Amino acid sequence: MDQLQNEIRVSFLDPEINAILDGLPANGEDGEYGVLFNQSGELHLVLSEDLVFPRFPIHHDVHNPEPSASYNRALRGFVTDLVALLPASFRGLSYYFDPAEILKPCFYRLYKVEESIYLFHLRVNLAQHPFEGEILEAGSNDITAAYRSRKIWVESELVPLDAVMWELGRVRAFRIHQMISNTWIGETRRGHYIQGIWMDDGLSRFFTRLFLPEGAKIYPWFPLFCKYKTVCASSPTPDPQARRRMLPLLHRAISFLGPEMEKIQRALKDGEFSDKMPEFLEMRGRTPSAWREVFSGFSSRPYLNGRDQKEYALAIPDTQAP
């Protein structure tokens, strides 16, 4: 992403992958899957059957907008298998290649609410997470391992836009609606190292807690979070129903938070987020209770997996895990 312009650039659209997406049946439903977060808060879906992740080249010149032929071949086969398991979630999406993160293919769709434009942005992580999946063919310094797994790691986000930039009939960039001036707070020294301090996490907690029902426990999912210097929404599943459920909330949240953003930033620069902050309590009191109904029935349950590591299962209304 271009940090100066606050844009997401679309450098290369693969016609064969987009033909696969365009060819999805109009009424196909997703297979069943569970929604989990690991102890670091990373979202992943647990599919009903194994998915094979082929080998992909690791290195790519970020100045080259197009992927290699071997990358394209591998990704086309992978996308064919993936959309067979999740046809509804990928129906209506388009693919583009990000030369800065080649192991995270990008899929998108645009939405309009009143006069505002929103980008649904789905990234699929092709890299194997440690201890997850069965190695089929070893990797190297230049190519990833081929492996089999029921887990697929995703970033499923809704992002507000100011504009969509076109060139010769193709999308070339999404200009993000920036609401936050700067999330940098300062630096702290720990041992021999200097670490930066940002308020992104505090902003995400502030945004989310404003709209949660009393007593709701959904950690580590942040439905509203800070990214790209704006307020984004996380769709815990990539299906169209989940996206449309989050869109009205994000639209209302942006209108509500916009005039208050400088005040929120000042409060968080002076200390960590707390639901006892005067600024939070005042805004919470003005938040219509009807806006919180979107999260009715959502809950997370912590547990220890087979390696004694904490994970969180997210229960979603009208969704059953496999």
Residue 22, both tokens: 């365009």
Is residue 175 a contact partner of residue 110, using CB atoms and an 8 Å limit?
no
C-alpha 289 chain-centroid distance: 26
Segment 284-317, tens digit of pLDDT: 999 998 999 889 889 999 999 888 999 999 999 8
Q: Whose CA is closest to 199, among 183, 178, 220, 179? A: 183
Q: What proportion of the chain, given as a percentage, has pLDDT over 70?
A: 92
| pTM of the predicted model as reported, rounded to 2 decimal places | 0.91
Pairing of strands 299-304, 116-125: unpaired
Distance CA 183, CA 257 (A): 16
pLDDT value of residue 2: 43
Look at residue 278 and tell me whether its pLDDT is greater than 90. Answer: yes
Using a 10 angstrom Cβ sphere, with 0-12 exposed, 13-18 middle and 19 or more buried, the burial of residue 53 is: buried
Q: For residue 238, how many C-alpha atoms fall within 13 Å in the half-sphere facing its CB?
A: 33
Segment 18-64, tens digit of pLDDT: 999 999 998 889 999 999 999 889 999 999 999 999 999 999 999 99
Segment 181-234, tens digit of pLDDT: 866 444 344 544 444 344 788 999 999 999 999 889 999 999 999 999 999 999
Distance CA 259, CA 313 (A): 35
Q: What proportion of the chain, given as a percentage, has pLDDT over 90?
A: 78
Look at residue 273 and tell me whether its pLDDT is greater than 60. Answer: yes
Dihedral in degrees, nearest 10, Cα atoms 133, 90, 225, 63: 80
Q: What is the mean pLDDT of residues 247-252?
A: 96
Complete DSSP assignment for 9-21: E--B--HHHHHHH
Is residue 37 a contact partner of residue 221, using CB atoms and an 8 Å limit?
yes
Look at residue 104 and tell me whether its pLDDT is greater than 60. Answer: yes
C-alpha 237 chain-centroid distance: 10
Q: What is the mean pLDDT of residues 256-280?
A: 91
Distance CA 165, CA 312 (A): 39
What string of H, E and C letters represents the secondary structure of 155-180?
EEEEEEEEEEEEECCEEEEEEECCCC
pLDDT value of residue 190: 53
Segment 115-129, tens digit of pLDDT: 999 999 999 999 998
